[in-house]
Amino acid sequence: MKNLNLVPFVSVDNMMKLVLEIGIERFSVELSAYIEDDFKRWELFDKTPRVASHSSTGVIELMPTSDGETYAFKYVNGHPSNTKAGLQTVTAFGVLSDVSTGYPALLSEMTILTALRTAATSAMVAKYLAPKNAKTMAIIGNGAQSEFQAIAFMAINGIKKLRLYDIDPVATKKCMDNLRGYDLEITCCASAQDAVEGADIITTVTADKQYATILTDNMVGAGVHINAIGGDCPGKTELHRDILLRSDIFVEYPPQTRIEGEIQQLAPDHKVTEIWQVITSQATGRKDAKQITLFDSVGFAIEDFSALRYVNDLIKKRGHFDNLDMLADPDTPRDLFGMLLRAKQA
């Protein structure tokens, strides 16, 4: 019988071993399939906007959901100024639990896993929204998420060319260096305007917690797909409002996106389409070659559920986890105090 007081724990070291053993491209493809499968059963899940505690320097959030059999939550922060102190902007961990007993089934790092699931979600959604045969993507903001986005779009969508821009040229050089060896033609651009020239897909992934205009209206031509993932909290946006008014907008969970996404700039009743409806053929994604599609992504708990579910399945086959003695396991369920006394005597 399984010792239920021992909880599998995937550390940062084991997560890296797991990802590298499988390969980042394959990991991204398989993870995107788990996310897509869960979006197809979207209506089964408990859904709520994430619980957020905002401060002047950032935000700490809890992201819970359940499909009735399995429960998951993620703890995640977002502190843009952390990099000045040599710290990560985003850190996270997550828990997967059995609904029938309430016992945790998995505890995992999710700093790396969140980067992977964010990119996998973006690339999965682009299958439904991006122009047919898109080959060129601009990435504006070349920080911690940029390489994950590039590899996921290469592996899942067939992107061949990248056009990179960041206000910090060191970040762009870092991204180019990290992607060397992948089958990508990479161009370092002098401005955001330069980066979007000829791009089929535009990914914006900046970190500053403020209203910003990374893309102006004149920079966005007909037929592109915009993958906007940087605007993810109240008061933080990347796109000029006029771009939103020209675009067909697709979101994860409207009650959350209207608080945190690009659409916080619009009226509360502005029409948006939930992407799960496109995936299940209840709504239309890309309609024609001239349409501007916008995925206003803020990240949602079901994506983390999918990522934890995927990792939980992987470690059963491949290992790369430790068992944590995390839950009390008395000889009889009502004798927790006796368990404590016996430990003293031992």
Kindly report, residue by residue over 149-167, the tens digit of the pLDDT: 999 999 999 999 999 999 9
pTM of the predicted protein model: 0.94
Q: Which residues of the chain have pLDDT under 70?
A: 1-4, 207-210, 231, 346
The amino acid at residue 14 is N
> What per-residue confidence (pLDDT) applies to 344?
82
DSSP state of 4: T
CB 308 within 8 A of CB 31: no
> What per-residue confidence (pLDDT) applies to 233?
72
Please give the structure tokens belonging to residue 203: 């990914």
Known catalytic residue at 232: yes
The amino acid at residue 140 is I
Share of the chain above pLDDT 70, in %: 97
CB 45 within 8 A of CB 305: yes
- Candidate list 38, 166, 200, 232, residue with the active-site label: 232
Distances, alpha carbon 292 to alpha carbons 13, 125, 176, 247, 286, in Å: 41, 14, 28, 5, 8
Q: Which domains, and CATH codes, for the chain?
A: 6-112+302-345 (3.30.1780.10), 121-299 (3.40.50.720)
> What per-residue confidence (pLDDT) applies to 231?
66
Structural element, H or E, at residue 35: helix 24-40
